[in-house]
Amino acid sequence: MKAYSVYLFDFDYTLGDATNGIVASVNFALSHMNFHTFPTEDIRRTIGMSLPETFTHLTKDDDIEKQQQFVKLFKEKADEIMIDNTELFPGTIKVLSYLKSKGIKTGIVTTKYHYRINQILNKFDINNLIDITIGGEDVKNAKPDPEALLTAIEKLNAHTDNVLYIGDSIIDAKTAQGANVDFIAVTTGTTQKDEFLQFPCIAVVSSLSQLLDYSTFIT
């Protein structure tokens, strides 16, 4: 099994859980726009989408001005509550620390705002474990378009053959496929193992910590 010199990760439901903050921010925005709010499980299934896509998926309304208003209101609430309502998964720091100890470059490729990821890294004092972050505002096209993943690879002066992407959703699987990058799926989100098997996967694991079981992936 090949080794990789770069590990890139999605954030939500891959490295951490911000469900409470996301649900509260989505429903805050919708209620202020006179849309009905949604239960947690419905909103959980949108995590990983861009905010405009989340709005349209929930409301079935694709009006661009309404999407923009939703994004503005979501951000307003999220700026207040998101960091306090974000936690890392138990194995996240262990995995990132191990990769760093082996000289492997790491990064986060997400639809979340770049500055939000920076705030999260600061909260847990793990800035030193991440070499690059590509957030939703850093690219023109949201995942599953491969632009963000390819941008991270380019900035790290890496080659797609040496990169592994880890994510929790079909959006992530499609992103890796579009970038021609190997992919490991983790089932800590809302996507089940059998759904991932429709896409090219090196492995499907039930927790981030299981990455360390695949020692042949690590130089």
User: What b/e sequence results for 30-52 when a residue is b if at least 16 CB atoms lie within 10 Å of its CB, and e otherwise?
Assistant: beeeebeebeeeebbbbbbbbbb
Q: Where are the beta strands (DSSP E) in 130-199?
A: 132-134, 163-167, 182-186
Domain annotation for the chain: domains and CATH numbers: 6-17+87-217 (3.40.50.1000), 19-81 (1.10.150.240)
- Given pLDDT bands bounded at 50, 70 and 90, which one contains residue 211? confident
Over residues 130-176, the pLDDT tens digits come to 999 999 999 999 999 999 999 999 999 999 999 999 999 999 999 99
Over residues 86-105, the pLDDT tens digits come to 999 999 999 999 999 999 99
pLDDT at position 13 is: 97
- Given pLDDT bands bounded at 50, 70 and 90, which one contains residue 2? confident
pLDDT at position 203 over 60: yes
* Closest among 94, 130, 136 to 113, alpha carbons compared: 136
pLDDT at position 166 is: 97
pLDDT at position 217 is: 58
Instruction: Tell the residue number behind the tokens 């993943």, with chain if given.
Output: 149
H/E element holding 17? strand 16-17
* Cis peptide bond upstream of 52, omega within 30: no
User: What b/e sequence results for 157-187 when a residue is b if at least 16 CB atoms lie within 10 Å of its CB, and e otherwise?
Assistant: ebebebbbbbbbbbbbbbbbbebebbbbbbb
Note whether 14 and 208 are within 8 A (CB): yes
